[in-house]
């Protein structure tokens, strides 16, 4: 009898352990899913209209020739964004505030100026692309009218929608990018060639290739993403009540929180690079293979999605609609990130109260910068820029601007007085400095090839 009771106890103990283990796994999975926020949004916003135009042009112009850059960029982007996230999470400050503390306001001001210029041009180009996309859906609507509506909507969302709800909206907008993955599978081609091109680098020594290489780097490793990432992690510290305001106090951060942040970054950047890979395959298979090697308009870019709906009546119109909705959605996602990073960097520079957690009356200067950056981006459109070319030039400007800011990030990430025990490891430093060198060399080669 005693043996039977003992066996029952053993069985009950095993059942309890299994239940606890299962519960622990579920809890861990939930924690991981909940942690997907700033990193996922950063990754999705990286595939903004500027990115879509750049990657589309790369696929149309060079076919699968630049496909390898998706895999090539992944470790560089992940490491750099992790540094920025760690800086924000551990210090509770934005990147601008940390740079000012580590160096001085004299160093931060010119860097802030570069970020503001790059961001504003990028916003202008993104707004232009959104306006051009509306014309695909409703040609009778004047571009100026549609762009004004977008600007008012974006400013209103950032100022009046609570931070946590706004973050959820941004996550859902990222789903529109999945249309490129489906189209890439449909277009396909020689998968042996695709896989080979995804791994083995292809280099061409000519101005067009050098410019596109720098544009892809610039739209992927952009200064606005550095500032946004650090400030959003600091926003998370505020949301968890670890600090009262960004830049005020020293948050207590656990190893688990740092691990979850790294998962968030890794997943977000993986999503971004998967979309890059898919866009290049899509445009290479649907445009380059049919002799379209230079995308001049949104209408041409939309044709890349026709294979997605080729069996449907009016496939061309449906493809235009999908493309337009994708551009508009990513614009609604990316422009607030661009404008928000401008607000963060100026607030850090001049010591203003800041944060999307705050109401307008609590951080007026911060929100006015966001509104002004978005509005000036709208004014840029009055000079009648070519949306597709402007988006690629914006990416090139981002690449040039990133270099001095990346240098500052690398130096600060190794400063024990700021990060204590959470400074860079050997792998982070190796990949980080290699990224810095690659960016300098690529920009120099671009300027040299332009001069020939």
For residue 248, the 8-state DSSP code is B
Q: What is the pLDDT of residues 53-88, one digit of tens each?
A: 889 899 999 999 999 999 999 999 999 999 999 999
Residue 345 has pLDDT above 70, yes or no: yes
Q: Would you state the pLDDT for residue 18?
A: 45
For residues 2 and 395, what is the distance between their CA atoms, to the nearest angstrom?
A: 76
Residue 167 binned pLDDT confidence (cut-offs 50, 70, 90): low
Residue 415 binned pLDDT confidence (cut-offs 50, 70, 90): very high
For residues 317 and 429, what is the distance between their CA atoms, to the nearest angstrom?
A: 49
For residues 271 and 249, what is the distance between their CA atoms, to the nearest angstrom?
A: 33
**DSSP states along 76-136:** HHHHHHHHHHHHHHHHSS-HHHHHHHHS-HHHHHHHHHHHHHHHHHHHHHHHHHHHHHHHH
Q: Would you state the pLDDT for residue 328?
A: 85
- Among 3-7, 95-99, 192-196, the minimum mean pLDDT is found in 3-7
Residue 235 has pLDDT above 60, yes or no: yes
* Helix/strand/coil for 164: helix
- The set of residues, in sequence order, having a beta carbon less than 8 Å from that of 413 and lying 6+ positions away, is 83, 86, 87, 419, 423, 424, 428, 432
- Among 24-33, 49-58, 228-237, 249-258, the minimum mean pLDDT is found in 24-33
Q: Would you state the pLDDT for residue 306?
A: 81
Tokens of 16: 């309890």
- Read off the pLDDT of each residue in 280-289 and give the average, rounded to a whole number: 89
Of 289, 394, 279, 419, the C-alpha closest to 335 is 394
Residues in the chain: 452
- The set of residues, in sequence order, having a beta carbon less than 8 Å from that of 132 and lying 6+ positions away, is 143, 297, 298, 327, 387
- Read off the pLDDT of each residue in 383-394 and give the average, rounded to a whole number: 70
Give CA torsion, residues 339, 391, 223, 89, to 10 deg: 60
Residue 369 has pLDDT above 80, yes or no: yes
Q: Where does 308-446 show beta strands of DSSP type E?
A: none
For residues 282 and 59, what is the distance between their CA atoms, to the nearest angstrom?
A: 7
Report the Cα 99 to chain-centroid distance in Å. 22
Q: Would you state the pLDDT for residue 21?
A: 44
Give CA torsion, residues 388, 317, 278, 440, to 10 deg: 0
> Any idea which residue has 């599978």 for tokens?
185
For residue 310, the 8-state DSSP code is T
Domains present along the chain, CATH in parentheses = 36-451 (1.20.1740.10)
Residue 139 has pLDDT above 50, yes or no: yes
- The set of residues, in sequence order, having a beta carbon less than 8 Å from that of 235 and lying 6+ positions away, is 38, 163, 246, 355, 356, 357
Mean pLDDT of the chain: 83
């Amino acid at each position: 009898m005693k043996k039977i009771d003992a066996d029952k106890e053993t069985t009950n103990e095993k059942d309890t352990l299994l239940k606890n283990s299962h519960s622990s796994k579920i809890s861990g999975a939930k924690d991981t899913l909940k942690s997907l926020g700033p990193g996922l949004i950063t990754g999705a916003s990286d595939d903004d209209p500027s990115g879509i135009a750049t990657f589309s042009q790369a696929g149309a112009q060079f076919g699968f020739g630049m496909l390898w850059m998706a895999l090539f960029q992944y470790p560089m982007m992940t490491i750099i964004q992790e540094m920025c996230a760690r800086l924000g999470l551990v210090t509770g400050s934005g990147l601008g505030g940390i740079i000012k503390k580590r160096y001085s306001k004299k160093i931060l001001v010119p860097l802030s100026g570069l970020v503001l210029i790059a961001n504003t041009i990028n916003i202008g180009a993104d707004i232009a692309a959104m306006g051009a996309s509306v014309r695909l859906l409703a040609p009778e609507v004047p571009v100026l009218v549609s762009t004004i509506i977008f600007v008012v909507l974006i400013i209103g969302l950032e100022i009046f929608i609570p931070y946590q709800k706004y973050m959820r909206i941004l996550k859902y907008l990222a789903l529109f990018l999945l249309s490129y993955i489906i189209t890439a599978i449909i277009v396909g081609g020689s998968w042996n060639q695709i896989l080979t091109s995804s791994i083995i680098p292809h280099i061409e020594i000519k101005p067009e290739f050098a410019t596109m290489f720098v544009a892809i780097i610039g739209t992927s490793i952009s200064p606005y993403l550095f500032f946004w990432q650090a400030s959003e992690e600091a926003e998370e510290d505020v949301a968890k009540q670890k600090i009262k305001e960004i830049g005020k106090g020293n948050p207590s951060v656990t190893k688990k929180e740092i691990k979850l942040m790294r998962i968030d970054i890794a997943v977000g950047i993986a999503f971004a690079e998967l979309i890059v890979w898919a866009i290049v395959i899509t445009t290479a298979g649907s445009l380059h293979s049919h002799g379209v090697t230079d995308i001049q308009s949104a209408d041409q870019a939309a044709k890349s999605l026709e294979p997605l709906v080729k069996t449907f009546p009016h496939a061309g119109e449906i493809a235009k609609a999908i493309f337009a909705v994708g551009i508009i959605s990513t614009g609604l996602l990316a422009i607030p990130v661009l404008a928000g990073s401008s607000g963060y960097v100026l607030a850090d520079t001049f010591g203003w109260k800041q944060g999307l957690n705050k109401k307008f009356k609590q951080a007026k200067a911060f929100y006015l910068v966001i509104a002004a950056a978005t509005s000036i981006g709208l004014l840029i459109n009055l000079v009648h820029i070519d949306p597709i070319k402007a988006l690629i030039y914006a990416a090139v400007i981002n690449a040039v601007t990133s270099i001095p800011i990346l240098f500052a990030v690398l130096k600060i990430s190794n400063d024990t007085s700021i990060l204590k025990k959470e400074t860079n490891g050997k792998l982070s430093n190796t990949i980080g400095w290699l990224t810095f060198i690659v960016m300098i060399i690529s920009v120099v080669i671009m300027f040299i090839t332009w001069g020939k």
